[in-house]
Amino acid sequence: MPAPFLFRSGNMDTTPSSQQTGFTLLELVAVLLLLGILSTSLFLRWSPGASTLNAQADQLARTLRHAQSLALAQGRSLRFAVQSATAYAITDGAATITDPQGVVQSYTLSNSVTLAGNDLDFDSLGRPIDAANSLIASAQSWTLSTTGATATVSVSPLTGFVTVTP
């Protein structure tokens, strides 16, 4: 029966190695220089208005998708309602609804972002419909804008596929 542990006997070399480990000053300076160049180029491209606009356009797209899924889950028509140039909500046609988690479906744009577009209804299958309860014939779009930048959120006819265009 073999032993579970093997012990090695003999003289083990315990002298420290003569080679040093670590980075040289030249390597550290090169890395810091590269980081400086990258951060400068990112800083010059960064625009706080554009990032806010894109984030709010994505939120609008998520709200449209949420309206579709709520209409489908609840088996009733719901409306994406543009309430003003800076506010929108999901309503049942009369009042703003509360989703199953208890969140009131009302949203306000911030940082001088404005919204242009019309209301859109979703039927009980989550499809976009017009005022006559017919499927929409062409894409419905909303434009979000701020100083010098715009983004467009669109809903495709028939499928209700939501896209964001910067």
The answer to the question of residue 109 being in a domain is: yes
CB 107 within 8 A of CB 85: no
DSSP state of 46: -
The answer to the question of residue 88 being in a domain is: yes
The answer to the question of residue 97 being in a domain is: yes
Which tens digit of pLDDT belongs to each residue from 36-85? 988 888 777 655 555 688 889 999 999 999 999 999 999 999 999 999 99
The answer to the question of residue 6 being in a domain is: no
Which tens digit of pLDDT belongs to each residue from 118-149? 999 999 999 999 888 899 999 999 999 988 88
The answer to the question of residue 16 being in a domain is: no
The answer to the question of residue 150 being in a domain is: yes
Distance set, CA 91 to CA 128, 146, 160 (Å):
14, 26, 18
CB 141 within 8 A of CB 163: no
Distance set, CA 112 to CA 56, 80, 144 (Å):
11, 21, 10
Amino acid 43 reads: F
Task: Specify the number of domains making up the chain.
Answer: 1
The answer to the question of residue 32 being in a domain is: no
pTM of this prediction? 0.69
Using DSSP, state whether 152 is helix, strand or coil.
strand
Q: What is the pLDDT of residue 21?
A: 79
* CATH classification of the domain holding 77: 3.55.40.10
Domain hosting residue 125, numbered range: 48-165
Task: With CA atoms as reference, report the closest residue to 61 among 161, 148, 135.
Answer: 161
Alpha carbon distance, N-terminus to C-terminus of the chain: 73
The answer to the question of residue 41 being in a domain is: no
